[in-house]
């Protein structure tokens, strides 16, 4: 069943009945998908007890500062400090407590801290761009970070990716892992980004965009954005190839 509400958030519909909301595995506009997509039809497999019950990813996976990407080094990183928070909800709209949420992103100049990124923008020695936290008993998560910059990626002529943050969520079991991307409102690069536009349904694309939230902004310190994430059931888990994580 598809969940559709007015809150900002990613809602994953029933792809078998709503193909417009499901990015095709082979998206010609996204050139690298030609080499990565499955060549045979996907097959749904039933979940057994071992898939549903383990492994568990608990609180011991997170350090005291893992959720705050601005205090993980000797000095503060460059850029605009922001807060990103929201709820993780299951396919029935109920909070998903005690689940691991991980993020990774480019720095304020639009560069990732890995050897594959050759964008001629400065690296920030005080920003690694990765974080993690556990949702609380009500499914809430919260990160403090720096607003990422756009970056060129050579997918097409004069191609730039909109500012975005990658999210990895494990739901209630390891086999429910979801990898997705959160975008920021009003970005002028949406129209030319084939990853964002691989979601054909306009309303579904809009749910990938967070919303500015003045109520959770910390005065004179950081602006805040809200983004709720709704997971589907265990037979509808969405996976993304790890090779695509840096795009």
Catalytic residue set:
112, 151, 161, 164, 166
Question: Tokens at residue 131, please?
Answer: 């974080």
Residue 58 Cα distances to 29, 80, 170, 174, 201, angstroms: 39, 31, 11, 12, 35
169 contacts 231 by C-beta, under 8 angstroms: yes
Nearest CA to 144 out of 228, 216, 247 is that of: 216
Phi, then psi, of 52 in degrees rounded to 5: -85, -30
**C-alpha of 209 from chain center:** 10
Radius of gyration of the chain measured on its C-alpha atoms:
18
Contacts of 181 (CB under 8 A, 6+ apart): 164, 165, 166, 167, 195, 196, 208
Alpha-carbon distance of 28 to 152, in angstroms, equals: 19
């Amino acid at each position: 069943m598809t969940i559709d509400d007015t809150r900002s958030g990613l809602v994953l519909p029933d792809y078998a009945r709503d193909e417009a909301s499901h990015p095709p595995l082979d998206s010609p506009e996204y050139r690298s998908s030609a080499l990565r997509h499955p060549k045979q039809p996907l097959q749904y497999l039933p979940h057994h007890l071992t898939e549903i019950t383990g492994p568990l990813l608990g609180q011991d996976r997170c350090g005291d500062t893992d959720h705050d990407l601005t205090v993980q080094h000797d000095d503060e990183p460059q850029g605009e400090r922001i807060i990103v928070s929201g709820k993780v909800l299951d396919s029935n709209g109920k909070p998903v407590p005690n689940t691991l949420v991980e993020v990774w992103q480019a720095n304020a100049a639009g560069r990732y801290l890995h050897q594959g990124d050759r964008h001629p923008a400065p690296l920030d020695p005080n920003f690694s761009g990765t974080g993690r936290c556990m949702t609380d008993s009500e499914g809430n998560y919260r990160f403090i970070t720096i607003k990422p910059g756009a970056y060129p990626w050579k997918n097409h002529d004069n191609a730039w990716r909109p500012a975005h943050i990658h999210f990895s969520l494990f739901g209630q079991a390891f086999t429910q892992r979801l990898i997705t991307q959160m975008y920021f409102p009003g970005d002028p690069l949406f129209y030319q980004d084939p990853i964002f536009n691989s979601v054909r349904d306009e309303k579904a694309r809009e749910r990938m965009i967070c919303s500015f939230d003045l109520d959770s902004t910390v005065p004179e310190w950081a602006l805040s954005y809200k983004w709720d994430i709704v997971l589907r059931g265990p037979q509808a888990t969405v996976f993304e190839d790890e090779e695509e994580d840096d795009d």
